[in-house]
Amino acid sequence: MRRRMTKIIQCFVFLNILFFTLWTINKFLIPKQIYRNNTWPTTSTYNQFYKMEKDSIDVIFQGSSVCVNAFSPQEIYNNYGIRSYNLGSEQQSVLLSYYWLKEALQTQSPQVVVLDTRFVFMLHPENPLNSTEASIRKCLDPMKWSKIKMEAVKELCAVNPSQTALSFYLTNIRFHTRWTELTEYDLNLSQSQSSELKGYSAIATYGPESYSTFDPKDNTPIEKAHPIGEEYLLKIINLCKENDIELILVSLPQNAMNDGINNYLNKISSDYSVDYYNFCETSNYNALNVTLPRESALGHENIWGAIKMSQYIGKLLSEKYHIKPVFDKQWEDTREYYEQIKKNCELSHITDFAEYLKAINDDSYTVFISIKDEGTFGLSDICRKQLKDLGLKTDFIDKYRYSYYAIIDSQTGVIEKSDEDLKLTYKSSVRDNNTMYSILSAGYNAGPSSSIIIDGTEYSKNGRGMNFVIYDKVQMKVIDQVRFDTSIPEMTAYR
């Protein structure tokens, strides 16, 4: 009897060790989509959602990547005190929108759900779920294991027999080859645990110069929806009704749009008593009051377009849907982070050298400067003073065609060196030895060259003048790379 009990205990211990080992391996091998490495940081988004206080979210946004870039919960909170969260992800199948809404309702009681309708219609005919496998896994892998996730996996595999349930339970089956690709943020799981922007992701690029809006012409044609898109759209509608949630359907600017799509969604709106806003349509688009190309609310909206979109939807939620403002520390504590994100986005569009030097004087940045060929003749007295304000000791007088580099960091101080004839190189690290870099500067006499390599990637523009690379230590990534031709008084910026 004792021997039998001993064997049972040994088996139990072995199985627990095996389970823990597999669980740990799975955690490491699953690819991490975070702000540091991805425009749509789904891992951070969903991990942070699980950390939100119970019943603290009044509005949930769902949909594809265009949703992620369009609705900024912090902007909405700052203006209207409305607590929202963006649960969008790349190519989010409506099936996964449904299961993430079910998951959200385990801890939250939203008053309104806003659903981007892009993937209601056929976009990926090669996949029964109307999405790519990579996007499906980015959305589903971060979901915690529960009856809901098991149901989602079962349904996903039933719709697409090429998928196996086991590969979702034991993700190392799918990602076992990633051993050679593991990075700091794969091994340091804390880096994927926060999403200060509540699921929103900012884009800094400007949009096109113009946009041709949509005007309905014929209310007869009805676009055929994707079968899964339609099935799960109706399930979302029913789920919202069962939980006394207002559902708002939206078509975002530059989504595929024609009379058939518009008529289909208007019919759904009428048949099921849900509101539909088509922002591709002229009057709705004009109501956003955006100015292209800077305030682009088109496709993957940039931060300035998202500000306008979020202000519009925030006003709508406040005035029409009567969402009350609430003071909440979860949003108050991220105001400063959001302002820094906005500043980072502005930085990449500054073309005036003096203005740029003022903007990068920020302790959250590590600033890399490397001169190629010649980089001092065009400097004015004001610019020399601003360079000194950054902490540089070199005055750049009588340094014509010199090699010169500098690294400015609030923790390690200022490192700089200049020489008339030699090529200069330096290697070190920032962020407590977690981010490695090397820098090279060669003036005219040293064979003109510039290099700024951070974590194995070359970022220098390698052009005449001062080459800048700005690394944000909070976001843990390069946020700007620019060359100013400081060899001439015009000091033109090149990105």
Residues 488 and 455 both lie in one domain: yes
**Which pLDDT value is given to residue 85?**
98
Which of the listed residues 288, 310, 341 is the one where a domain comes to its end? 341
Question: Which residues touch 265 (CB under 8 Å, ≥6 apart)?
Answer: 117, 120, 249, 251, 276, 278
Residues 156 and 202 both lie in one domain: yes
Find the CATH number of the domain harbouring 91: 3.40.50.1110
pTM of the model: 0.88
Q: How far apart are CA 183 and CA 12, in angstroms?
A: 33
Q: List, in sequence order, the alpha helices (H) in 35-82.
A: 42-49, 65-70, 73-80
Kindly tell me if the per-residue pLDDT of 188 is higher than 90: no
pLDDT band with cut points at 50, 70 and 90 for residue 462 = very high
Residues 327 and 402 both lie in one domain: no
> How much of the chain exceeds pLDDT 70, in percent?
87
Q: Tell me the pLDDT of the chain averaged across its residues.
A: 91
Alpha-carbon torsion (362, 363, 364, 367), positive or negative: positive
pLDDT band with cut points at 50, 70 and 90 for residue 40 = confident
Segment 281-288 mean pLDDT: 98
The DSSP letter of residue 430 is E
Q: How far apart are CA 492 and CA 465, in angstroms?
A: 10
Q: How far apart are CA 321 and CA 313, in angstroms?
A: 10
Pairing of strands 449-454, 435-443: antiparallel
Identify whether 210 is part of a domain.
yes
Residues 149 and 239 both lie in one domain: yes
**Which pLDDT value is given to residue 336?**
96
Residues 180 and 281 both lie in one domain: yes
pLDDT tens per residue, range 76-128: 999 999 999 999 999 999 999 999 999 999 999 999 999 999 999 999 999 99
Kindly tell me if the per-residue pLDDT of 272 is higher than 60: yes
Kindly tell me if the per-residue pLDDT of 173 is higher than 50: no
Residues 130 and 250 both lie in one domain: yes
Identify whether 384 is part of a domain.
yes
Q: How far apart are CA 151 and CA 235, in angstroms?
A: 14
Kindly tell me if the per-residue pLDDT of 64 is higher than 90: yes
Alpha-carbon torsion (251, 256, 257, 261), positive or negative: negative
**Which pLDDT value is given to residue 171?**
64
Segment 380-389 mean pLDDT: 96
Which of the listed residues 313, 341, 369 is the one where a domain comes to its end? 341
Residues 323 and 220 both lie in one domain: yes
**Which pLDDT value is given to residue 116?**
98
Residues 328 and 358 both lie in one domain: no
**Which pLDDT value is given to residue 43?**
85
The burial of 78, by beta-carbon neighbours within 10 Å (0-12 exposed, 13-18 middle, 19 or more buried), is given as: buried
Per-residue burial over 265-298, b = 16 or more CB atoms within 10 Å of its CB, e = otherwise: bbebbeeeebebbbbbbeebbeebebeebebbbb
pLDDT band with cut points at 50, 70 and 90 for residue 29 = very low
Per-residue burial over 168-202, b = 16 or more CB atoms within 10 Å of its CB, e = otherwise: bebbbebbeebeeeeeebbeeeebbeebbbbbbbb
Task: Break the chain down into helix, strand, coil percent, rounded to 5.
Answer: 40, 20, 40
Kindly tell me if the per-residue pLDDT of 412 is higher than 80: yes
pLDDT band with cut points at 50, 70 and 90 for residue 10 = low
* Angle separating helix axes 227-242 and 94-104, nearest 10 degrees: 20
3-state secondary structure of 291: coil
Residues 277 and 407 both lie in one domain: no
Segment 400-427 mean pLDDT: 97
**Count: domains in the chain:** 2
**Which pLDDT value is given to residue 163?**
87
Identify whether 248 is part of a domain.
yes
Identify whether 402 is part of a domain.
yes
Identify whether 12 is part of a domain.
no
Q: How far apart are CA 461 and CA 144, in angstroms?
A: 43
pLDDT band with cut points at 50, 70 and 90 for residue 70 = very high
The domain in which residue 432 lies consists of 353-494
Which of the listed residues 321, 341, 361 is the one where a domain comes to its end? 341
pLDDT band with cut points at 50, 70 and 90 for residue 9 = low
pLDDT band with cut points at 50, 70 and 90 for residue 418 = very high
* Angle separating helix axes 147-159 and 94-104, nearest 10 degrees: 170
Q: How far apart are CA 471 and CA 492, in angstroms?
A: 22
> Is the CB of residue 363 less than 8 Å from the CB of residue 473?
no
